[in-house]
């Protein structure tokens, strides 16, 4: 049967990079009509990172990528493909992935950006897994990297409290040990463009090219229907986890760790309650970084490893919901 010939795919290395500068809730109090306490209670965020003026998305991506490749005990020349999940690329083209491929010192391998907003890293994981399982690549570098603060309106208190900059990366590799069951067990990707307006960067593309009018209307900044996103996110996260367990004939008690997209602590806590999964099994670091879109999950994955929250044999769920709308999950045996 063809399925038996497909290769098992493991995460062989992780890395992350966060810019040094922080924006605290107190800093935001000086910019818009808000309060540290309101932000903490409504979102769980305490501070976020801000890229330096000379840093773009590829700079953060490159550093995270270097760390992930080294962690996998590989050299850049071993990488067979690069995917950068981002909605804040350096340029419309060339892709951020091409910039990283060159600066990292990779061979002339395929490199492309993937736009699926906050679900981007899991989308990248699924694409990479398919290529490795089919035998067309052995090691693929999947990066989630964003500089969302460049597109954040620091005059809009509904959005400026949420976003930060950062990058995370993972190397996916063909599994070597035959008697091991570690690796990606299940992925699920979905999209519904009817909700495109709920989270959108309206200006700067072909619909609304840069113009004085576009800038005057502040359409070069992220617009968000926070409440609608909030409700949708909870139900989608619950559905994704339940359906993945069902497909794999596993129970929620089997899960050791859930790494959700870091958008709002209340969303994550409410989803955990609906799933009846204790908060100790949910990884949260949004208090320090806010929402870095496609970068939240690979950053969290890297931190979870370094904090010894992942052990061989653990069942790990990655789950995300974001702009598009898009949503995605991945189930891994560590």
Catalytic residues: 118, 261, 291
Q: Could you give the residue ranges of the DSSP H alpha helices within the chain?
A: 2-5, 25-29, 36-43, 57-71, 96-104, 120-133, 212-216, 226-247, 265-275, 286-289, 296-306
Query: According to CB under 6 A, which residues from 104 to 123 bind ligand COA?
Result: 118
Distance CA 188, CA 177 (A): 25
Query: According to CB under 6 A, which residues from 53 to 82 bind ligand COA?
Result: none
Query: According to CB under 6 A, which residues from 162 to 181 bind ligand COA?
Result: 162
Q: Does 291 bind ligand COA (CB under 6 A)?
A: yes
Distance CA 160, CA 151 (A): 10
Distance CA 332, CA 23 (A): 34
Q: Does 230 bind ligand COA (CB under 6 A)?
A: yes
Q: Does 86 bind ligand COA (CB under 6 A)?
A: no
Q: Does 38 bind ligand COA (CB under 6 A)?
A: yes
Let me know: does 330 contact 317? Beta carbons within 8 Å.
yes
Let me know: does 47 contact 21? Beta carbons within 8 Å.
no
Q: Does 264 bind ligand COA (CB under 6 A)?
A: yes
Q: How many residues bind ligand COA (CB under 6 A)?
A: 21
| 227 or 247: CB nearest ligand COA | 227
Stretch that binds ligand COA, among 107-115, 144-152, 220-228, 251-259 (CB under 6 A): 220-228
Kindly tell me which residue out of 227, 247, 273, 306 binds ligand COA, with binding defined by CB under 6 A: 227
Tell me the sheet residues that pair with 56.
none
Let me know: does 181 contact 333? Beta carbons within 8 Å.
yes
Query: According to CB under 6 A, which residues from 140 to 159 bind ligand COA?
Result: 157-158
- Residues in contact with ligand COA by CB under 6 A are 34, 38-39, 42-43, 118, 157-158, 161-162, 199, 224, 226-227, 229-230, 263-264, 291, 322-323
């Amino acid at each position: 049967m063809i399925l038996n010939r497909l290769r098992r795919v493991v995460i062989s290395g992780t890395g992350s990079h966060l810019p040094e500068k922080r924006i605290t809730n107190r800093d935001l109090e000086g910019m818009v009509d808000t309060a540290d306490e309101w932000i903490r209670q409504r979102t769980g965020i305490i501070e976020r990172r801000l890229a330096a003026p000379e840093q773009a998305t590829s700079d953060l991506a490159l550093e995270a990528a270097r760390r992930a490749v080294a962690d996998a005990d590989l050299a850049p020349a071993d990488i067979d493909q690069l995917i950068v999940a981002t909605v804040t690329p350096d340029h419309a083209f060339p892709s951020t992935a091409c910039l990283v491929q060159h600066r990292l010192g990779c061979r002339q391998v395929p490199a492309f950006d993937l736009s699926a907003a906050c679900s981007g890293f899991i989308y990248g994981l699924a694409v990479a897994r398919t290529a490795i399982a089919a035998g067309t690549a052995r090691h693929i570098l999947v990066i989630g990297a964003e500089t969302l603060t460049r597109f954040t309106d620091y005059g809009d208190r509904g959005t400026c409290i949420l976003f930060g900059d950062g990058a995370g990366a993972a190397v996916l590799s063909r599994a070597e040990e035959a008697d091991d069951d570690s690796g990606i067990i299940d992925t699920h990707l979905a999209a519904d463009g009817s909700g495109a307006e709920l989270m959108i960067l309206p200006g700067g593309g072909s619909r609304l090219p840069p113009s004085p009018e576009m800038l005057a209307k502040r359409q070069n900044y992220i617009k968000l229907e926070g409440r609608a996103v909030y409700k949708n996110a909870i139900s989608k996260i619950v559905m994704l986890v339940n359906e993945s367990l069902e497909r794999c004939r596993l129970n929620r008690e089997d899960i050791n760790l859930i790494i959700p997209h870091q958008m709002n602590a209340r969303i994550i806590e409410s989803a955990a309650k609906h799933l009846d999964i204790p908060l100790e099994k949910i990884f949260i670091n949004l208090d320090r970084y806010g929402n870095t879109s496609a970068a939240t999950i690979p950053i969290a994955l890297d931190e979870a490893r370094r904090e010894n929250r992942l052990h061989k044999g653990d069942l790990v769920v990655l789950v995300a919901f974001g702009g598009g709308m898009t949503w995605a999950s991945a189930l891994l045996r560590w």
